[in-house]
Amino acid sequence: MPKKSLPPRLYKYQPFNAQTLTNLKRGWIWFSAPINVNDPYDCSAWFVEDTVSESDFQRLLAYARKRDPALAARLTADQLRESFVNSVRKVYEERRTVQREQRGIACFSATVTDIMMWSHYANGHRGFCLEFDTSVPPFSRALEVVYFEKPPTINPVDVLVQEPSDDESNELLRAVVRTKARCWSYEQEWRLLHAEPSKRYGYGDGPLTGIYFGAEMDPAHKA
């Protein structure tokens, strides 16, 4: 699937309440732990393949020889495969926990005109929506969410061999926090990542370029 260009603006639908007003006044974005998103299947997990191709096994062998040459020399190919399967399960659970519980995400949309988004995230059109310039950090670092009909699989060698990182090329990061079921595709979602969950990020005066009012917003709230 081709990678989309970062849209020039991203949007954050908000209900009208004391917290969202405080965030607006102070120029804050709130980053939640992925485990707390509203869809239990979002940021949960995908499938790790059970089989290893010959080319991937050679990658694994090179990795094992680099990490522990003596151990790699002692093990037969079958023993190495068995050891690899056990290691992958352990490493996958550890890194999955990190991405779901020890990182923060903030969610945005590429559209400001979706009726369902106004209904779901802006209190039935009674809230507002913030517009941000994506040429300005941190919005320039937003990552696209990709939608799938069926959950994608993760190459087990990538789980073990790839160093943990928040780079968008990281397979496990993409699988856990950057993929959703296709039924959510109307959201046109992009996400920002933070090294810690439950944190505020101050974006300053530059990125906020607009505020849109919901169709049912109370006139007093608009004022």
- Whether residue 4 is contained in a domain is answered as no
* 1 occurs within a structural domain: no
Q: Which residue has the higher pLDDT, 200 or 38?
A: 200
d(CA 147, CA 178): 9
3, part of any domain: no
Kindly state the percentage of the chain with pLDDT values over 90.
43
CA within 13 Å, CB half, 12: 26
In a domain, 85, yes or no: yes
pLDDT confidence band for 47 (50 / 70 / 90): low
Type of residue at 9: R
CA 15 to chain centre: 22
Query: For helices 77-101 and 54-67, what crossing angle results, to 10°?
Result: 80
| Residue 110 belongs to a domain | yes
pLDDT at residue 170, as a whole number? 65
Residue 2 lies in a domain: no
Mean pLDDT for the chain? Answer: 85
The model's pLDDT over 121-172, given as tens digits with 9 standing for 90+, comes to 999 999 999 999 999 999 999 999 989 887 777 777 777 777 666 665 666 6
Task: Give the residue among 181, 180, 101, 196 at the shortest CA–CA distance from 143.
Answer: 180
Per the structure, the count of domains in the chain is 1
Instruction: State the pLDDT at residue 54.
Output: 80
Query: 43 lies in a domain?
Result: yes
- Measure the CA dihedral 22/28/33/34, to 10°: 110
Domain, as residue range, for 29: 9-222
Assigned domain for 27 exists:
yes
